[in-house]
Amino acid sequence: MHAERFYTLSASCPDRVGIISRVAGFIAEHQGWILESSYHSDPGEGSGSRYFMRIEVKADSLPFPLAEFRQRLAPIAEELQMDWTLSDSAVKKRVVVMVSQQEHCLYDLLARWQSKELDIEIPCVISNHETLRGFVEWHGIPFRHVPVPADNREAAHAEIRRLFEEAQGDTMVLARYMQIISPELCAAHPGQIINIHHSFLPSFVGARPYHQAYQRGVKLIGATCHYVTAELDQGPIIEQDVIRIDHSDSVLDMVRYGKDIEKAVLARGLRYHIENRVLTHGNKTVVFR
Amino acid sequence: MHAERFYTLSASCPDRVGIISRVAGFIAEHQGWILESSYHSDPGEGSGSRYFMRIEVKADSLPFPLAEFRQRLAPIAEELQMDWTLSDSAVKKRVVVMVSQQEHCLYDLLARWQSKELDIEIPCVISNHETLRGFVEWHGIPFRHVPVPADNREAAHAEIRRLFEEAQGDTMVLARYMQIISPELCAAHPGQIINIHHSFLPSFVGARPYHQAYQRGVKLIGATCHYVTAELDQGPIIEQDVIRIDHSDSVLDMVRYGKDIEKAVLARGLRYHIENRVLTHGNKTVVFR
Amino acid sequence: MHAERFYTLSASCPDRVGIISRVAGFIAEHQGWILESSYHSDPGEGSGSRYFMRIEVKADSLPFPLAEFRQRLAPIAEELQMDWTLSDSAVKKRVVVMVSQQEHCLYDLLARWQSKELDIEIPCVISNHETLRGFVEWHGIPFRHVPVPADNREAAHAEIRRLFEEAQGDTMVLARYMQIISPELCAAHPGQIINIHHSFLPSFVGARPYHQAYQRGVKLIGATCHYVTAELDQGPIIEQDVIRIDHSDSVLDMVRYGKDIEKAVLARGLRYHIENRVLTHGNKTVVFR
Amino acid sequence: MHAERFYTLSASCPDRVGIISRVAGFIAEHQGWILESSYHSDPGEGSGSRYFMRIEVKADSLPFPLAEFRQRLAPIAEELQMDWTLSDSAVKKRVVVMVSQQEHCLYDLLARWQSKELDIEIPCVISNHETLRGFVEWHGIPFRHVPVPADNREAAHAEIRRLFEEAQGDTMVLARYMQIISPELCAAHPGQIINIHHSFLPSFVGARPYHQAYQRGVKLIGATCHYVTAELDQGPIIEQDVIRIDHSDSVLDMVRYGKDIEKAVLARGLRYHIENRVLTHGNKTVVFR
């Protein structure tokens, strides 16, 4: 992440000759200074190849503000049939954090937020338990307790959605939140809800993945950061990592080692997301690191 | 691996008080010098905990030869209800290598054999193709071509078994051998047949695992070295590892990266096996590295 | 770490025949149940080989308390010329944490302490800055501010020593504490002071290691957890790890990536230490993981 | 690496507005299809920032052959003050391999060459020993024995240079070649000679790095692939990696583990080099993976 203010164009479009030339040409024409740029052509299957790009332009190199940049870029985007977003590094992402009772991911995220390593706003933390209220509130962040009773999940789901939208969240992070997210919420905010699953997907989908890993006798365990979709643990994978274990490790040891992978993978995945480095492509992601 | 000649006891038995004392006491009584020893207690599930051990004793520290060591140890082993093997570092394991057309694992194994890093005999290499004959024979190793015609697999299976037994092989290594091993052979030589599967099991069982991985959009790919059982890719896992990939990697890139992991994981797993470091426990392994 | 109470013998002695037998025999004689045991023979250079061991015995399997265990073991230890410690898992280590202004290691340690993953007492946190007082005190841990003025370091050094000893600390952890520890304190508490250095030692000793790494153009950066001795960054290494970087990473990016390695390596090293898994041998360590 | 024939532009120039636009614009103007492109701006120190790029253009998308592409690009390159090379994927790099007696890197490279994973010509292998002649010649590659007597290194150095130039080598790979390369050869072929050093540089420069690592008690050992310059082990680093060891590993074990890292790191570094992915910048490299 650069220190100067910059605008980030993240886009994809059908592949053809001259895309970079068209986009970079437009930026150069206005004396835009490109700080960083990444491009990828995905061959696709059947439907033709698709082009992905991410370009950071120094804000004060341009002779106009973001709104005009967007306006002037629009016809080019249309011509290229782009899916695109243009964001401003000076506008912090609003990230709502969901937790249950385990604290490792929350401590990790708040340490990064505190030191501005993660340069985000956290409008609130939502939990189905009261356990972590004190810790969150000490940081000056509002804490919302939304119990999820087995006989009335719908109300809880509705309340979570209401809180997220009221907070004007643009990203929701499930930091070891042990409840299902409602299909409605997933559908309303695709590519905005990030989960950390405590296995190296697609192995060990669902509940108690460390127990499953222990039973199978694997020699590495992992964690997966992915976008949440209506299908459990099936969304586009953003980031994964693993750690070595051996026969002497019990399930509890695996849980302990796993925490270190979970928090690291979630932090990396979230960072890629808030820096607009993740573009989805069907059920896969392009991550411009 | 130590330079001096040594005997290796690899054993497991029901857990109880005094196992180490009993075994190490017996060795000490005869002035046996323990070069290396490892112990593990597995809590088990239901059936009580089980104890695993591996002890290297310097051969010339004992006042008797291996046969007498074995004889004297037998009553203790019986008393402790041990499953045990006692092996001699001076007797090289006889490893039959199975290949198809891909050479990366074979080159890797023969380089290690050539330099005596892998201190084994290779009585023969068996293949369903002629491709690698020249390379194998240049090393002075007999090459056996056993085609596996779709309409007469049984004959091929029988011939492979005959060659393995004729060669007095104690280990069979499937070094990217692209055919199924017959259930009869698996049953006749449990814990003796080692395969390298080109995925991080249990993900992507069966054919074309790199294609499966590409479809799912995982961020790491892996390989698994395991004992072969009648069930495809379900045997006890000996060793695994992974390598990072990203969106820019095609299936062919994954195949290429994967080779490096395959050969490394196979070499490590085989080494553990021939040094008697792997003890199976149901469908899992204890690996004393 | 086992859930049941246990005693841990960590010891080293000159190598000879029968050490395991002698020690395990003594334990078995009293019906001691060994939960976990590790042994290592170091060939040494010149002075003959040295034997290292770590044995966990279930407390309630023994017919006597710790004091008597210690008393009865003493003659055997003397006979074997052992350096030894015998510790009780029910007695928590008292770990004094030293910090400056960076919070990542502190957040990480307190999260692990909070969840009892690190089962220690933290009698106080000492800092040369006030920055982290609130966070520490929120956790109910006393915070001691000891400024280190350039013109009177001696007083600060004396005060730190006084606080450590008053707190009856048995371990001091420098969690990115940016001041030198006095040679007197190092000498008074050898093997008790643990530092995290932000490079892969022995590369980049001293100040600004990430700048040094950037200048040299390395492709991985690392961190090292080591015991503090009078010589800067030269003490016995307990644990190390690295992370991949590339040409696109600035020094600031390296600092950011480095934090994740620092906190993980410090946490692992500290855990090994408090579980009595680390035995020093000259300027090296044996770590029984 | 793409299957289709393509041209690769690897270039660097002083940073300014409009570089991508200028270069990509030129390519687009001629209907050039960009398969892959990477860009990096290095902030530099003192002398201003420098821009690096690597662009693959599909050969048959252009209406003219390579020579004309080069000719037409030249004025733009001059305008931008570029250091540049333009290469053709259909023209294989000529890589002269230097070895001594250890075979692991040679086996690894020849396996990759055999399978066309490394798509290079090997005009000859040069060695100061006869040991590996048979293996090399079996592959149909000429083997040149150039002894390096202590009392006449100059003649050997001259002969090596003569053979390299006679073979029209564009890259020389020191695949665990245990002799010094003459300063004259280094000076005559900067950025063309690649070495694998068996330590994680800058730690353990010079002779017997595994012994040095053993003495220091490090917990990871590594290998470094770098360009050879007149200063021993000081050239620009292309690639590095490490592997975990512990107290139980002797120097011989470290040598054994080290081989696996050496061959993997050398193969990756060489691949980056022959695909024109490595651009040097002072004593550092930009590697567009």
pLDDT in tens, D139-194: 999 999 999 999 999 999 999 999 999 999 999 999 999 999 999 999 999 999 99
Higher confidence at residue C53 or residue C45?
C53
pLDDT category, C150, cuts 50, 70, 90?
A: very high
Q: Which residues contact C48 (CB under 8 A, 6 or more apart)?
A: C14, C15
Query: What pLDDT is recorded for position D46?
Result: 66
CB contact (8 A) between residue C108 and residue A103: no
Strand partners, C76: none
Q: Sketch out chain C's domains with CATH numbers.
A: 6-88 (3.30.70.260), 95-287 (3.40.50.170)
Query: What pLDDT is recorded for position C154?
Result: 94
Q: Which residues contact A224 (CB under 8 A, 6 or more apart)?
A: A196, A197, A199, A200, A201, A233, A237, A239, A240, A265
Q: What is the pTM of this model?
A: 0.96
CB contact (8 A) between residue D264 and residue B267: no
Phi, psi for residue B266 in degrees, rounded to 5:
-65, -45
Spans of chain A below 50 pLDDT: none
Strand partners, C278: C287
Residue C282 tokens read as 């000259």
Chain B hits for A43, CB-CB cut-off 8 Å, are 250
Chain A hits for C111, CB-CB cut-off 8 Å, are 103-104, 107-108
CA distances from C210 to A125, A284, C103, C197, C252 (A): 34, 34, 18, 11, 9
First to last CA, chain D: 11
pLDDT category, B232, cuts 50, 70, 90?
A: confident
Among residues A43, A62, A59, which one has the least CA distance to residue A51?
Answer: A43
Specify whether the CB–CB gap between A126 and A114 falls below 8 A. Answer: no
Catalytic residue among B15, B83, B108, B233: B233
Among residues A251, A256, A252, A222, which one has the least CA distance to residue C111?
Answer: A256
Q: Does C149 touch chain B (CB under 8 A)?
A: no
Give the residue carrying structure tokens 């008797």: B64
Q: Look at residue B120 and tell me whether its pLDDT is greater than 90.
A: yes
Q: Does B108 touch chain D (CB under 8 A)?
A: yes
Q: Does C166 touch chain A (CB under 8 A)?
A: no
Specify whether the CB–CB gap between A186 and A228 falls below 8 A. Answer: yes
Express as a percent the part of chain D with pLDDT over 70. 99
Query: What pLDDT is recorded for position A48?
Result: 83
CB contact (8 A) between residue A218 and residue B237: yes
Catalytic residue among C170, C233, C246, C260: C233
Using CB atoms, pick whichever of D103, D115, D138 lies closest to residue B103. Answer: D115
Query: What pLDDT is recorded for position D44?
Result: 79
Query: What pLDDT is recorded for position C241?
Result: 97
Q: Does C45 touch chain D (CB under 8 A)?
A: no
Q: Which residues contact B240 (CB under 8 A, 6 or more apart)?
A: A218, A219, A220, B200, B201, B222, B223, B224, B225, B265
Query: What pLDDT is recorded for position D1?
Result: 59
Chain D: give the shortest CA distance to residue C74, in Å.
Answer: 27
Residue C126 tokens read as 């000492």
Q: Look at residue C1 and tell me whether its pLDDT is greater than 80.
A: no
Q: Look at residue C121 and tell me whether its pLDDT is greater than 80.
A: yes
CB contact (8 A) between residue B260 and residue D248: no
Query: What pLDDT is recorded for position C63?
Result: 96
Using CB atoms, pick whichever of D242, D247, D287 lies closest to residue C247. Answer: D287
Interface list for A 22-41 with D (CB within 8 A): 22, 24-25, 27-29, 31-39, 41
Looking at chain A, which subunits does it touch, using at least 3 CB pairs closer than 8 Å as the criterion? B, C, D
CB contact (8 A) between residue C217 and residue D283: yes
Chain B hits for C41, CB-CB cut-off 8 Å, are 34-36
Q: Look at residue D89 and tell me whether its pLDDT is greater than 80.
A: yes
D185/B167 Cα distance (integer angstroms)? 51
Averaged pLDDT of chain B: 96
Q: Which residue of D has its CA nearest to C289?
A: D246
Query: What pLDDT is recorded for position A3?
Result: 76
Query: What pLDDT is recorded for position A223?
Result: 97
CB contact (8 A) between residue C267 and residue A260: yes
Specify whether the CB–CB gap between C26 and C73 falls below 8 A. Answer: yes
Q: Does C201 touch chain D (CB under 8 A)?
A: yes
Chain C hits for B25, CB-CB cut-off 8 Å, are 21, 24-25
Q: Does C18 touch chain A (CB under 8 A)?
A: no
Specify whether the CB–CB gap between C235 and C225 falls below 8 A. Answer: no
pLDDT, tens digit, for every residue of C164-176? 999 999 999 999 9
Query: What pLDDT is recorded for position D210?
Result: 95
Q: Does A101 touch chain C (CB under 8 A)?
A: no
Q: Look at residue B1 and tell me whether its pLDDT is greater than 80.
A: no
Query: What pLDDT is recorded for position D48?
Result: 83
Q: Does A123 touch chain D (CB under 8 A)?
A: no
Q: Which residue of A has its CA nearest to B203?
A: A203
CB contact (8 A) between residue B22 and residue C34: no
pLDDT, tens digit, for every residue of C6-43? 999 999 999 999 999 999 999 999 999 999 999 999 98
Q: Does C109 touch chain A (CB under 8 A)?
A: no
Averaged pLDDT of chain A: 96
pLDDT, tens digit, for every residue of D204-247? 998 899 999 999 999 999 999 999 999 888 999 999 999 999 99
pLDDT category, C48, cuts 50, 70, 90?
A: confident
CB contact (8 A) between residue A107 and residue C108: yes
B-D C-beta contacts closer than 8 Å? 42
Using DSSP, how many helices (H) and how many strands (E) does chain A show?
8, 14
Question: Is C233 considered catalytic here?
Answer: yes
Letter for the amino acid at C20? I
CB contact (8 A) between residue A111 and residue C117: no
Q: Does A235 touch chain B (CB under 8 A)?
A: no
CB-based burial of residue A45 (10 Å sphere; 0-12 exposed, 13-18 middle, 19+ buried)?
exposed
